[in-house]
Structure 1
Amino acid sequence: MGQDHRRLDSKVIAQHIFMMVKADPIISIRVLQGGVENHFGYKASYRKVWLAKQRVVARIYGDWEESYNELPRWLFTMQMYLPVTQPWPASTDTVMFHRVFWTFPPCVEAFKHCKSLISIDGTHLYGKYGGTLLMAIAQDGNANILPIAFAVVKGETKEAWSFFLSYLREHVTPQPGVLVISDRHKSTGRALNAEGSLWKPPHAFQAFCTRHIAANFMTHFRNKDLKKWSQYADEGHRFGHMTTNISECINAVMKGSRNLPITALVNSSYFRLGELFARKGSEALAQLQVGAKFSQTLMKAIEFNSKYVNTMNVYQFDRSRRNFTVEELAAVSGSRQ
């Protein structure tokens, strides 16, 4: 009777963990332990809860190992760019997952109408086999953030970044003059500046996230009074973007998916972007139907500038040197003819 009671308790506990993981795939083992303890009155070991979570994730999203076998088939079904896994090591008959790059045709088309700027970043995967998710993020004229390319690699190495950046340039961002913003990760810099790279002038331009520059500065000097926010002449390539914040936003959006088997991760990017394009497409269509010629963000900027332009006089202007002098006048009441 005691054994049957314990067996029943195990099933009930497993179901409790199942419901918690299903509600939040990124839930930590510690939180799961706490949930079990609060609900059943005792604390299960970390290992038991970890194993239970892995079984639950596999039950909901598919087996971890089988997910790698399913990935090429799923990518082929989606008719993705470069849906391949590369065998390693080549001297054996066993094919092992190495890395994969993917994008979506609507993303490629959308980037043609976005700012000529991308933010790139890498973020850890927290599943059974780890790895790193690399992403390139763009932004349109209405300040909408758009992921345009993804890759899963072993880690942030020069080889991995070169793989990602070369296919990104070839298939998604072939336009000249694109600015890429990144943190100061050494592997990223080496890949961007490698011999033959198309991410150097005059083909493309590079900029660093100033937040990372400040953080690195503090690491070396540890003096908050010396920490400065700096901008420099970028010839307009930054479009006002001083950080990789748009990448950080997508990292947060993808946080739950980073704990899933690889095919479930790719599926997540597909369905999330499908929902995004459907929603933003409807919003854009509604704006066109009411006769809007410019994006809402641009219209707000025009209205703001128009409000204050009458209080300013431009005395000097040198178009070639981009130098001008502006005097702001005191507000004048009354109307003008």
Structure 2
Amino acid sequence: MAANEVRGTPEESFSMIHSYMYMLKLKNPDSVSYVEVDAAKRFKYLFFAFGASIEGFTAMRKVIIVDGTHLKHVYSGVLLVATGQDPDRHHYPIAFGVVDGEKEESWTWFMNKLRDACASKFTECAHAYTVAEFDDLYESFSRRYPSAAAYLEKSVEVRKWARCYFEGDRYNVNTTNAAKSINGVLRKARKFFLLPMIDVIIKKMAEWFNKHRKKAAEIPVIKKLVPTVEKELSKRCLEARCLDVVEINSFHLEYNVNGVLI
């Protein structure tokens, strides 16, 4: 009774989920959320991804790791987590889902929503692991976007954008350990009802972003960067050559930079 007084009842939690997701998107621009109900209009599935996570994924290593963990409140269910890694191998939370169990139907629903939030028909082709899968996806892509397909075939070698033909570094991500780590952080939250659990997820996300924003200047030099970061650094390096740099302290590597970097 005390828990219900503080957090509300499970039934109240589920009944407020639509308005909660509405406010979530209102206060977090470009966020995505979906609530699925069954024939009796009862809660079935939930998916949400913050706009900041979706935007930031463009600079992450292009591997998505997914995993599920059981919820421990009265209605049980499973929390699904999609996460990635930044260029320095820090975990990067992308999206969350709540479903009734780890079944083919629920996983398919979650993956489709994740694809809608973070991918496109072109990236489906690019991310295919096998040539057979790539051929099927590319045939569909060609029919839907013939001009884009014609451009790719004429101007861009397939080995430069398709995973199954790519011979370079694939970031060596082969386990779901990153998603399991996120699940570990949410271990206590999984005992709560739906809305209190989501509150904890939001707080943990805020802590994560604030922590890594403060530590951004402390990250050591990375030998391999994702293409988006490589492009931005290349641009800034050219502009930085025009700035006036004066050494202040050689031991602590402190410098004074005069000029404007656009």
Mapped partners of 2:68, 2:137: distance in 1: 19
Distance in 1 separating the partners of 2:128 and 2:72: 30
Alignment of 1:195-234 (within 5 A): none
Paired residue for 2:39?
89
Does structure 1 retain, via aligned residues, the 8 Å contact 2:91–2:178?
A: yes
**Who is 2:109 aligned against?**
163
Mapped pair 1:267 → 2:199: yes
Tell me if the contact between 1:258 and 1:265 (Cα under 8 Å) persists in the aligned partners. Answer: yes
Distance 2:169 2:224 in 1: 22
Conservation of the 8 A alpha-carbon contact between 1:111 and 1:173: no
Equivalent in the alignment of 2:72: 126
C-alpha distance in structure 1 between counterparts of 2:167 and 2:175, whole Å: 17
Name the CA distance, whole Å, in 2 between partners of 1:139 and 1:197.
26
CA pair 235-158 structure 1, distance change in 2 beyond 3 A: farther
Q: 1:249 aligns with which of 181, 185, 203?
A: 181
Counterpart position of 2:141 = none
| Alpha-carbon distance change, 73 to 247 in structure 1, aligned in 2, over 3 angstroms | same
* 2:55 alignment partner, one of 109, 116, 131: 109
The alpha-carbon distance between structure 1 residues 84 and 141, as it changes in their structure 2 partners (threshold 3 A), is same
Match of 1:258 among 182, 190, 208: 190
AA aligned opposite 1:81: V
Structure 2 residue identity aligned to 1:159: E
Question: 2:89 is matched with which residue?
Answer: 143
> C-alpha distance in 2, partners of 1:204/1:170?
19
Aligned equivalents of 1:240 and 1:139: distance in 2? 11
**What CA distance in whole angstroms lies between the structure 1 residues aligned with 2:108 and 2:162?**
15
CA contact (8 A) 1:101 1:152 kept: yes
- Identity, in percent, stands at 28
Instruction: Say if 1:122 and 1:135, in contact at 8 Å, map to a contact too.
Output: yes
State the Cα deviation string for residues 184-241 of structure 1 (Å, max 9, x = none).
xxxxxxxxx9xx889xxx99869xxxxxxxxxxxxxxxxxxxxxxxxxx994564122
Q: How does 1:230-309 map to 2 (within 5 A)?
A: 235-236=167-168, 238-284=170-216, 286-287=217-218, 295-296=219-220, 298=222
Shift of 1:159: 1.1
Size of the aligned set, in residue pairs, is 192
If you compute each CA radius of gyration, which structure gives the higher value, 1 or 2?
A: 1
- Output the TM-score relative to the length of structure 2: 0.64
Q: Deviations over 1:252-304 (max 9, x none)?
A: 011111111001111111121112112211222x35xxxxxxx5261599xxx
CA separation of 1:142 and 1:263: change in aligned 2, threshold 3 A: same
**Within 2, Cα distance between the matches of 1:254 and 1:277?**
16
Change (3 A) 1:167 1:234: same
Higher strand share: 2
- Measured in 2, the distance between the counterparts of 1:122 and 1:140 equals 21
Cα distance in 1 between the residues matched to 2:117 and 2:193: 26
Runs of 4+ displaced beyond 3 Å: 177-180, 202-206, 233-238
Give structure 1 stretches of 5+ with no counterpart: 1-54, 181-192, 207-232, 288-294, 302-337
Match of 1:311 in 2: none
C-alpha separation between the residues in 2 aligned to 1:147 and 1:121? 12
Q: CA deviation at 1:83?
A: 3.9
Q: Tell me, in whole angstroms, the C-alpha distance in 1 between the residues paired with 2:106 and 2:187.
A: 21
Q: Given the alignment, which residue of 61, 67, 71 partners 2:13?
A: 67
Counterpart CA distance in 2 for 1:297 and 1:72 is 44
Q: Is the 8 A contact 2:63 2:173 kept in 1?
A: no
Q: Is the 8 A contact 2:35 2:44 kept in 1?
A: no
1:120–1:244: 8 Å Cα contact kept in structure 2?
yes
TM-score (norm. length: structure 1): 0.51
**Deviations for 1:154-190, whole angstroms, at most 9, x for unmatched residues?**
011111111111111111244723489xxxxxxxxxx
